[in-house]
């Protein structure tokens, strides 16, 4: 027996963004500018669009007692679920600002963030779109978390 899952990642430019996506990306850029990343110099901002259109921001927060910090995605997700528990997360926009070379051109959310997104997506029983803008302004998008994490952990 074989189980195979493939990922489809759309690659677009900033010129191809919808007005909604442009607004989300601008909010995520502001969040990235406010990230606290003196150790990694890897500034990440996240803008979540909730089911009612409200935007929740998050950014990475590092700490000298590494790894006590937290990724931008989980900061935003936990804030959204703490303050808006009955609203679903429809879309996630992630902006990465760094001068470091990225091996694959962009940085999808880390495994821990993907697992949290995967769990939320399953609980709300609706897909979460994820967009990641690389430092060169290219946008990488998937229609649901399963494209980045095809086999999430579940009990």
- pLDDT confidence of residue 19: 92
- The answer to whether position 5 is within a domain reads no
- The answer to whether position 15 is within a domain reads yes
User: Residue-wise over 81-108: b if at least 16 C-beta within 10 A, else e?
Assistant: beebeebbbbbbbbbbbbeeeeeeebbb
- What one-character DSSP code corresponds to residue 116? H
- The answer to whether position 63 is within a domain reads yes
CATH, residue 67 = 3.40.140.10
pLDDT reading at 101 higher than 90 = no
pLDDT band at 99 (very low <50, low <70, confident <90, very high): confident
- The answer to whether position 155 is within a domain reads no
Q: Cβ contacts of residue 34 below 8 Å, gap of 6+?
A: 45, 59
Rounded mean pLDDT, 45-62: 98
- Cα separation, 142 vs 105, in Å, equals 15
pLDDT reading at 103 higher than 80 = no
As a whole number, the mean pLDDT across the chain is 93
- The answer to whether position 61 is within a domain reads yes
Distance spanning both ends of the chain, measured CA to CA = 23
Token pair for 40:
């990694």
- The answer to whether position 152 is within a domain reads no
Q: Cβ contacts of residue 47 below 8 Å, gap of 6+?
A: 24, 25, 27, 28, 31, 55, 56, 57, 76, 92, 93
- The answer to whether position 2 is within a domain reads no
Q: How many structural domains does the chain have?
A: 1
pLDDT reading at 84 higher than 90 = yes
- Cα separation, 24 vs 80, in Å, equals 15
The three-class DSSP label of residue 77 is: helix
pLDDT band at 136 (very low <50, low <70, confident <90, very high): confident
Task: Determine the structural domain holding residue 142 and report its residue range.
Answer: 10-147
Residues with active-site annotation: 73
- pLDDT confidence of residue 34: 97
Strand 89-97 relative to strand 43-50, pairing: antiparallel
- The answer to whether position 33 is within a domain reads yes
pTM: 0.93
- pLDDT confidence of residue 22: 93
Look at the chain and count its residues: 155
pLDDT reading at 86 higher than 80 = yes
């Amino acid at each position: 027996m074989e189980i195979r899952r493939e990922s489809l990642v759309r690659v677009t430019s900033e010129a191809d963004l919808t007005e909604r996506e442009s607004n989300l990306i601008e909010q995520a850029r502001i969040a990235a500018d406010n990230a606290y990343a003196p150790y990694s110099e890897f500034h990440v901002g996240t803008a979540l669009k909730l089911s009612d259109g409200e935007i929740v921001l998050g950014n990475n927060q590092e700490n000298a007692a590494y790894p006590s910090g937290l990724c931008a995605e989980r900061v935003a997700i936990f804030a959204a679920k703490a303050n808006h528990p009955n609203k679903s997360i429809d879309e996630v926009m992630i902006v990465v600002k760094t001068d470091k070379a990225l091996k694959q051109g962009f940085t999808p959310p880390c495994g821990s963030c993907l697992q949290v997104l995967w769990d939320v997506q399953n609980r709300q029983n609706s897909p979460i779109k994820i967009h990641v803008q690389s430092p060169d302004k290219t946008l990488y998008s998937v229609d649901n978390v399963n494209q980045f994490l095809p086999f999430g952990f579940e009990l």
